[in-house]
Structure 1
């Protein structure tokens, strides 16, 4: 958890907002000054105003390429992905020889589901800059590679010339993905392992610190405190939580197949609202959040996330909001929490084989993964005991096996009317900026369940650690065995 309370630079940010809006009005176009205003509004938690400003900017005359580049970045961060993509497309038109502009366009195309256009933009970035390793990694994850159409040879050449850890790491993950698609699992694991090892070496991180935080959450949100939680009210908000790569994005896509549900994606709205409502005193941040004022938290969350119309639901899918499930129960009786579980062998390997940004630093070694998972499992056991009907647990394996039956159960918990068509996630056109952005453009599939079997020999040290700690690696907490 980060520090809580009012924004430490509130007055400075308000002054910045006023100054840049004044400068933007003088320019009479969608400008970089507007971009700074959008970012400042988001920093102040005024997301509704930021969204309204972005809507106005979409109808304004374009400025320079520099303006579009700034707006593309700000719009992406604010979740206005179509506008972001359009801004980056204008940057490419103005600067066709700029490989970074093409990479930004590729990322924008991927987010809105235009995967072929994203691949073409990656290709152009690499033609202009053969060492553009970020474009190489993005291109590898956009589709399933085939014997006749892959980039293994090019990636191997790039890896031989890679100058520094960031490039080396990305290229190993790209090769791991492509070799897996080609069915060469030994080569795939070699590259995933090399990438993870180098990434771990670049981090200053101790998993024991995270383990201590999870145990402190259990202490701060004990059964006595949770017994004082207010009664639940009809749902207006929903939180989809779980480890990354557990299936949270797939379930978000199912639920947003309803016209009565929309998702803000992965945001810090909840943490910001908890910071506003946190108690002024307490032994540490965990205790202050546990003593948060519910009315202030709800008001702060509604301002950030929006207020749904009657009968509508606003979702948030930030996986590690599992940390704050107790705070949700104490402060947001109009919310429901959905915890997505997945067989640990699959879930942890999916994390190990994914290159995240700054989040989830425990993902890059088997020892860290096992240690974190033990503490995570203890936290989930605690939430199961104290959160009552606000929490529903669901297994990824059950959803992909029987999507309509389990989708109906999930939707009912979240207060969303069910329609069997909601499981056709490939028809859902909303944007996604998650690690699963390419996969969720396909129909629901079962092939990712049991993926660990292809790597069992390599995963044996991790599986042994889990089993020694009393964890069944092959079964989700409430799902079928995937042995």
Structure 2
């Protein structure tokens, strides 16, 4: 018996689908909206409009459209798979996994790959490794899957296997810039002449995309820096940063205005009026400050203590901030009951990442420095640790680091200096208004006199000293940040003065930081 032919798509819908396929997004949007005006219950068209929204970064709109498509057609598997991806993009991995499980397609390579990535975000690394291995057994010619496999192997400390996975990815796709950068980002791999030649050949190809190109520039910068070719290294760092900066909408003036508002809000009277409010739980230890200032080292030291669990850079506090109307000024209107509820909500969200019953846990998202007032209001008994590093060393370390997401300030020396200055400015204000509330760890002091600084850190957290905190490099745990391999080795002075070879190029950074701030570090508080 012959199979009935699939119903033909209406011409208008087919034209919109072709426009979407060709990335002619304005044409696709016009066509889909016109079609849906006449056919508002066509789940196929709604799914395509959701895909369009996702391509331009409107993930919340995409999610709403996909949920509407699934209301109309609950069995529409393509829409459910798209919804899982959109949830993952919004850093909601548990919900993404729930949608993938609802599909009940365990042998689908794409779904298994996405589930592995989501498990990695939730700390389910062994499950992720198993899924990647299953995917690669079925589809071994997938360079990006090999690269993702390498990421999770690196996270759990299997560096040799991780390097092998990255190399396998590059054997399949020699111009895969992110794989080259992933090797460089281990901080322990030195590229040989063949590696440099391969990267330069890939970079010379005019057909490669911007993402591969800037990853290659960052990797080549690291390769030449390792050889002490500072001028060549800096040229590649500049090229990578300039190309990455073009795709971002970061405005340093907005950060300055935000800090101005935060300082104006955070008066002594403001905090006195709210004393005793918020959630009284003392579980969280927030380690914050600039990226590349030693926060991973501090977390590793704390996570070596029998009472402390290391998690990762949790996204939950910024999410709560974004949901507060007119933030930060809107904090003045939040009721006592709401402050407590927000603290409890944070703890509930963070619980997803906790794997042990240790009483304390570390949230080491550096950017939480911008939310110091929020932390104090909703979790007044939480510990706050500020990881502070020499301004020029810290900012240059950021400049040569490609971040996967979330650090838009880091791709310009001027933006970087202004951001560091704003961070210190807000921190200094909170030191005056809430003296002693924040414990500061100076990175150079931690390197030079580790035991004294570790004892002071533990005391600030209300913890007894344990020798394991000095042997932090022996602690076996998953580490997801760029410093993962560095903190698996004993502490050393390596890297403290790496910026000095580049000093002739750093005048824009010095100007943006200001000589007063540079001179004040670390002995005197900075104020402006």
1:327 partnered with 2:374: yes
Does the CA contact (< 8 Å) of 1:42 and 1:50 recur in 2? no
Check 1:342–1:349 CA distance in 2 against 1; reply closer, same or farther (3 A cut). same
- Where does residue 428 of structure 2 map in the other structure? 381
Does the CA contact (< 8 Å) of 1:145 and 1:178 recur in 2? no
Does the CA contact (< 8 Å) of 1:326 and 1:387 recur in 2? no
Does the CA contact (< 8 Å) of 1:411 and 1:417 recur in 2? yes
Check 1:12–1:190 CA distance in 2 against 1; reply closer, same or farther (3 A cut). closer
Does the CA contact (< 8 Å) of 1:344 and 1:473 recur in 2? no
Does the CA contact (< 8 Å) of 1:133 and 1:171 recur in 2? yes
1:348 partnered with 2:399: no
Take 1:200 and 1:266, find their aligned partners in 2: how far apart are those partners? 23
Alignment partner for residue 200 of structure 2, among 156, 179, 203?
156
With normalisation by structure 1, the TM-score equals 0.82
Unaligned stretches of 5+ in structure 1?
A: 1-7
Does the CA contact (< 8 Å) of 1:404 and 1:420 recur in 2? no
Does the CA contact (< 8 Å) of 1:214 and 1:375 recur in 2? yes
1:288 partnered with 2:298: no
1:58-207 aligned at under 5 Å gives the runs 63-146=107-190, 151-161=195-205, 163-207=208-252
Does the CA contact (< 8 Å) of 1:144 and 1:181 recur in 2? no
Take 1:87 and 1:178, find their aligned partners in 2: how far apart are those partners? 33
- Where does residue 27 of structure 2 map in the other structure? none
Does the CA contact (< 8 Å) of 2:293 and 2:387 recur in 1? yes
Take 1:41 and 1:454, find their aligned partners in 2: how far apart are those partners? 41
- RMSD of aligned Cα (Å): 3.7
Check 1:433–1:33 CA distance in 2 against 1; reply closer, same or farther (3 A cut). farther
- Where does residue 47 of structure 2 map in the other structure? none
Does the CA contact (< 8 Å) of 1:39 and 1:74 recur in 2? no
- Where does residue 52 of structure 2 map in the other structure? none
By how many angstroms is 1:311 displaced? 7.1
- Where does residue 49 of structure 2 map in the other structure? none
Check 1:393–1:181 CA distance in 2 against 1; reply closer, same or farther (3 A cut). same
Matched residue of 1:472: which SS? helix
- Where does residue 259 of structure 2 map in the other structure? 214
Does the CA contact (< 8 Å) of 2:289 and 2:386 recur in 1? yes
Take 2:478 and 2:189, find their aligned partners in 1: how far apart are those partners? 23
Does the CA contact (< 8 Å) of 2:282 and 2:382 recur in 1? yes
Alignment partner for residue 481 of structure 2, among 434, 452, 460?
434
1:306 partnered with 2:351: yes
1:257 partnered with 2:304: yes
Residue-pair matches, total: 454
Take 1:150 and 1:144, find their aligned partners in 2: how far apart are those partners? 17
For the pair shown, which has the larger CA radius of gyration, 1 or 2?
A: 2
Structure showing greater relative contact order (alpha-carbon pairs closer than 8 Å, 6 or more residues apart): 1
Take 1:74 and 1:83, find their aligned partners in 2: how far apart are those partners? 10
- Where does residue 448 of structure 1 map in the other structure? 495
Take 2:254 and 2:159, find their aligned partners in 1: how far apart are those partners? 39
Matched residue of 1:462: which SS? helix
1:466 partnered with 2:510: no
1:386-425 aligned at under 5 Å gives the runs 386-425=433-472
Check 1:272–1:109 CA distance in 2 against 1; reply closer, same or farther (3 A cut). same
Take 1:35 and 1:84, find their aligned partners in 2: how far apart are those partners? 20
Does the CA contact (< 8 Å) of 1:344 and 1:474 recur in 2? no
Take 2:126 and 2:463, find their aligned partners in 1: how far apart are those partners? 26
